[in-house]
Chain A
Amino acid sequence: MTLFGWVIRSLFHYRRMHLAVVLAAAAATATLTGALLVGDSVRATLRYSFHTRLGNVDRVISARERFFTEDLGRRMQKSGIDTAALLQIGGMVTTGDGTVRVNQLHILGVDDRFFNMSPAGKTPEGFTGGAVLVNTALAARLNVTAGRPTEVVLRVDNPAAISRNLVLAPNKNSTIAMRLPVAGVADDSHFGRFSLEANQQEPLNLFVPIAWLQKQIERDGKANLLLISNPSGELTEEILTEILDREWRLEDAEARLVKRGRRVFELSSSRVFLDHSLGSAAFETQSDASRLLTYFVNGIRRGDRMTPYSMVTAADRKGAFDKILPPDMTDDQIVINEWLADDLGANVGDQLTLIYYIPGDWQTLTEARRNFRIRRVIPIEGVAADPDLTPDLPGLSDSENCRDWDPSLPIDLDRIRDKDEAYWDNYHGTPKAFITLAAGQAMWANLYGDLTAVRFQGGASDRDRLAENIRGAIDPSTLGLTLLPVREKGARAMSGGTDFGQLFLGLSMFLIISGILLTWLLFVFSIEGRKQQTGMLLAVGFTAKRIRKIYLLEGLLVALIGALGGTLGALVYTRVLIWSLSNAWQGAIAGMAIQYSSSMQSLSIGFVCGFAIALLAMLRVLHRQMRTSAHTLLSGSESTADSSSGVKKRAWIGWVLSVIFFSAAILLVIMSGSLGGSAMAGAFFGAGILLLVSMMIWIRKALDLMGARPAGSMSSLASLALRNSARSKGRSMAVVAMLACGVFMVVAVGANRKDAGRGAELRTSGTGGFALYAASSVPVARDLDSVKGRDTWGIDSSKLGETSFVNLRVRDGDDASCLNLNRAQEPRILGVSVDELARRGAFSFQEIQKGAHQESPWQLLTQDPGDGAVPAIGDYPTIYWGLGKKIGDTLVYRNRKGEAITLRIVAMMRSSILQGSLIISEKAMARCFPEVEGYRAWLIDTPFDRKSEISAYLTKRMADAGLSVETSIARLALFARMEDTYLSIFLVLGGLGLILGCIGLGLIVVRNLLERQGELAMLRAVGFSRGTLLRMVCYEHIYLLIAGLFAGLICAIVSVAPSIHAAAGQLPFGLLTAMALLIGASGVFWVVIATGVSLRGDILTPLRNE
């Protein structure tokens, strides 16, 4: 017989006991491995989402609200790279019968080149002009089914030629509607999920041919997104940048170089103002270049005479302008034409006043005036008679008559006289006055530019050379032509998101610990049951080391089988979890359709960890067992190794520790008063745990005291039971600790469940006191609280009553809310009016920058940190969980001009309806991201009892803007759903852990009773009935259950005190009480069952055998 043979024989002989150990170890392993496999599955699903949304796309050039030529892609293709030009525009769609409307749509003008980059690599069938393709998410919303002809009414955003933020931008035709048939559904392989945003949620995509869309929005040959494929990975960023530098043209920056007169070229922009970088670079290319800034003034006054609405040009004194502007002309002098001099009766030396509007950041206008002294009066000839000095102003330049002007500016057409009309007829937009460029820029420079044109001298053949010189002098990234590494960013977002493996490990921790404890407990019983055998082996000369080796080898095989079984079981368990995540627990993964996946790595880790944990539990048991002397083991009694002094020493240590833990808990509670937010909650949670540990020591001490009570104290069955419960203190404490921990976790976690609806009307709640939240599909230019803003949409203020709006600017970016399982790389930014939120005291703050004023955290957004960074605020889930950041951390963005904009987090709100975005001041938004147009979201302040009515009214009135209105409570509940689902998962898995714990409890009872067979037989012999014995044994364990239940409950209440305080009336006390009682009842159930089973049969047999 060999040692291995010995082990195999023992394994078989004690197979029942071992089977129980195997099952417990398997449960722990399956839970652990299952958690890792859930992580694998989520990762695989995110990988799928990443591949289907980007296909072969590696980089993009995104012009956002502006356009480049579609030809840019073709030119770049000559360098051997694949490109696809797109038109991506926001919009909305309704079904042909108008019953269903879907907002926040991505309308994509595409062609075959786009679909060639999709995972399928080809264009879906039926994609032709005059019909649309929808993706599966949109098809589901529109109820589109194969084989059933469907028509939709598509409304697309009609991008303005100039920024909507400027008052000059036209208000009319901001959207275009058209009725189209649906040709089919683009599935995932055909780019149905195409999106540049790192988000696992399927976007709402609608595809139309690019040529058709270009025609509809009058942007022939234009695109605003260029996809670049680099499947071989050979083209480095440097090479691609070089190709872009070589191939871009002025037209790609919405600039044009046109001939003006015989030997003059002019660089201008269809967006009225030239980009700063373009204007500066163009001016530098040629020494005779002349910069122009032509502006529309409201009036030119001399004394009581006024010429309304005229053009004034500010220019460098170069080229043709050296004939107009005298060499020594100063910035307070003006040159006027004869028509104006005649109209105003003005002469050289007279003072004139220019009255003009200063455009504010967002469609605001301030009328200003500046005085000039007339330096010269010139005839209307040469360059002074050039109407092309005036840029194309929408609603103005294209008008035949002055009275047809519709420039969106607040002008009074009644002020236009016949002679003004006549001037327009004869000279059109020819400027009536000229000033120095410095004077013009001092008055009219704005965020969108400080020049309207640059003029150059040159012959006809010089155009291309000139264009090349200008192009060569400028970095295209300053014009928004930047290569964005979307694939790299997407991969980073995918791998940086929440690790669901770890998350589920955390959620399953109680279950895993229960499994481990059960493994340990069963192995303890297995080894304890053989302690006389162990004693005999020691007596016949086996060393403790050799015996441990034999048992360990046996345990190793048991652990191996358990871990292997658990790993296999995990394959089933994971599918159950995934099924749950796809159904009842959908909220945990933000509704993502999760796909099962398992990696060898996770299976191996799960197996090894499960095996190692089981083995460690066994090692611990063996270590204890081998410390007991052989003669003690042989006698079958409990260890007598403890000397009385040792016991007393440990008793003393126990008391000291309990005092230390209790004092630390009290200290934490006192200190928490000076802490805020999460630190306070953490302090209370810590205090709860410390209190739990000290209470465990007290209970242990109480058991010691009960065990040592004089005999006279035993006067009833209950007191006998109480004394008995103090016998096996280790096991008794296992019962108490298991229950206390279970109740603590269940109550502490359950208390964090919140009802989004409770207290929603409070300003300090997550709704900020706003009843509604709205978002539009297209930018809305004007403030909805203004009369003009409401008039634009036909909103009747009397119907709104006391409703008011907080307008939000939206700089698109990644959704950093908990609904996005990817790690947001460049989160969405909201621009808010700080005063509007500060005035209302909206939302509450969890943490603010150190040293900041506590009363008005919103004002932090207006402060200048001094290092050029922009202060930003977000809510806790966004910053901490979504971005993995903290107060003081920074994020770097690039604006359209290619400038790096650094945002610094200065405060964290509590979870709110603004989750997923960072918030900066509206002013900072204008300064740093001037490309952001209009308003796209609103916090609506209206009485909560009118929310349905106001929502319906606004949705109807602003249907053309694709306005979606949702209640703040629903929005908050959406975000809270994930957290609540996690809590549910924790409770369910924790519940399973408790069931395992209760099984352990039952086993302890059975084991105790087996060891006390003789004693029970004696009690039966002296007249105790079976029922009395049953009651006595039940009492013994129920005392322990009650102790555990109360210890857990008290400590849990301490740990969640801040939640109770913060959410008075919101805590589900009923549910928590029910759960605590359920745990207690479950414990009682197992005790009664185990006792009943143990006391079955003839319990007098042991006595008879004696």
Chain B
Amino acid sequence: MLELINVTKGYGNPDKPGYVPAIRSLSMKLDPGESMAVLGPSGCGKSTLLNLIGALDKPTGGRINFMGWDLTDLDEKKLAFIRNREIGFVFQMHHLMPQFTVLENVLIPTLAWPNTGKQAVYRKRAAELIEKMGITECMDRRPGELSGGQRQRTAVARALINSPKLLLADEPTGSLDHDTAVAVMDLLNTLNRTENISLVVVTHAVDLAGRFERIYTLRDGRLTREGSAS
């Protein structure tokens, strides 16, 4: 489903001093329903990798194939469509919109493209996701009234509203306490299994990374397989 072939990404001019390489000739593959965790120290390029996979950024070299598309070759509009329909994002800081309720925040991705006549369907799915996330009682609350865990659950529900094939999570537990972090990781794992969603999680937490099928470490822009979950 997802294949990175000799992908490189750097900042600045490669022929001149001051060039900062973030990803070096990285290749990897992810099949449908697979999950992987990426570990690594700060500044090793974890977020850059996620941005490349998530079509938020383009590599300076190599190719990224996703569900038959070459992401390096598509225009911004098509990439936005793929992000909306096929990829779900979960961020460390949730990025919920404070002016909207939990339900409305979950529904936000459905407004990115015309959705005439589908509002009721989306609404029903949003309610189901919220229920699945265990925050039904928060449905009409605003982000300011939620705990960290509730916010992140809402963000996960938002990432799933368009039934994506790939879920990307960038330090999803970075701002949470340990118990809540464990709960969120469990939730992502469950989703991976029950919804057959491929999952890529970037994290610092080695103990939490162990819950995923494959574990990689990113160091000096290169990906090294560490092992897999038992």
Contacts and interface: CB of A to CB of B under 8 A. Distances in A.
A644 B12 contact: yes
A9 B80 contact: no
A645 B82 CA distance: 32
B70 to A, nearest CB: 19
B89 interface: yes
B95 A536 contact: yes
B108 A645 contact: no
Contact of B99 (A12, A537, A630, A631): A12
Interface residues of A, number: 30
B13 A540 contact: no
Contact of A1 (B16, B93, B95, B111): B111
A537 B108 contact: yes
Given A3-B111, A537-B108, A543-B76, A629 B84 contact: no
Contact of B47 (A533, A546, A631): A631
A540 B56 contact: no
A647 to B, nearest CB: 11
Contacts of B84: 540-542
B97 A1 contact: no
Chain A contact residues: helix, strand, loop or mixed: helix
B89 A540 contact: yes
Contacts of B12: 643-644
Contact of B13 (A3, A14, A539, A644): A644
B212 interface: no
Given A538-B56, A539-B54, A539-B83, A644 B108 contact: no
B85 A541 contact: yes
A541 B95 contact: no
Which of A1, A541, A543 has the most chain B CB atoms closer than 10 A to its own CB?
A: A541
A541 B109 contact: yes
Given A1-B111, A541-B113, A631-B51, A13 B80 contact: no
A544 B80 CA distance: 9
A540 B83 contact: yes
Contacts of A532: 93, 95
B32 to A, nearest CB: 20
B130 to A, nearest CB: 15
Contacts of A12: 99
Nearest to B107: A1
A630 B158 contact: no
Contact of B104 (A1, A533, A541): A1
Contacts of B104: 1, 9
Nearest to A9: B99
Chain B contact residues: helix, strand, loop or mixed: mixed
B91 interface: yes
Which of A10, A14, A634, A635 has the most chain B CB atoms closer than 10 A to its own CB?
A: A634
Nearest to A546: B112
Interface string A9-45: 1101110000000000000000000000000000000
Interface in A494-544: 532-533, 535-544
Interface string B12-41: 110010100000000000000000000000
Contacts of B158: 540
A631 B57 contact: yes
B18 A536 contact: no
A6 B109 CA distance: 13
Contacts of A538: 56, 80, 83
Contact of B95 (A13, A535, A543): A535
A74 B93 CA distance: 96
B100 to A, nearest CB: 6
Nearest to B57: A631
B77 interface: yes
A9 B111 CA distance: 15
A533 B95 contact: yes
Contacts of A9: 99-100, 104
A345 B201 CA distance: 144
B79 to A, nearest CB: 9
Interface in B105-119: 107-109, 111-113
Nearest to B113: A541
A640 interface: yes
A1056 to B, nearest CB: 47
B57 A629 contact: yes
B177 to A, nearest CB: 14
Interface string B46-74: 01000100101100000000000000000
A10 B108 CA distance: 13
Interface string A606-645: 0000000000000000000000011100110000100111
A543 B18 contact: no
Interface in B157-181: 158-159, 162
A537 B91 CA distance: 12
B75 to A, nearest CB: 10
A1096 B104 CA distance: 36
B95 A634 contact: yes
Given A6-B111, A631-B47, A645-B13, A542 B95 contact: no
Contacts of A535: 95
Nearest to A532: B95
Contacts of B95: 532-533, 535-536, 634
B80 A10 contact: no
A644 B57 contact: no
Nearest to B89: A539
Contacts of A539: 54, 56, 83, 89, 91
A14 B91 CA distance: 23
Which of B18, B83, B84, B111 has the most chain A CB atoms closer than 10 A to its own CB?
A: B111
Contacts of A645: 13, 16
Nearest to A8: B99
B98 interface: yes
B176 to A, nearest CB: 14
B168 to A, nearest CB: 9
Nearest to B110: A1
A9 B54 CA distance: 29
A543 B77 contact: yes
Contacts of B93: 532
Interface of B: 11-13, 16, 18, 47, 51, 54, 56-57, 76-77, 80-85, 87-89, 91, 93, 95, 97-100, 104, 107-109, 111-113, 158-159, 162
Given A6-B100, A540-B112, 5 more contacts: A1-B104, A1-B107, A536-B97, A540-B83, A541-B109
24 contacts: A6-B100, A9-B100, A12-B99, A532-B93, A535-B95, A536-B97, A539-B91, A540-B88, A540-B108, A541-B80, A541-B84, A541-B162, A542-B80, A543-B76, A543-B77, A543-B80, A546-B112, A630-B56, A631-B57, A634-B95, A643-B12, A644-B13, A644-B16, A644-B18
Ordered nearest first, which 8 A-B pairs have the shortest CB separation? A541-B84, A13-B99, A536-B95, A541-B83, A542-B112, A540-B109, A541-B112, A543-B80
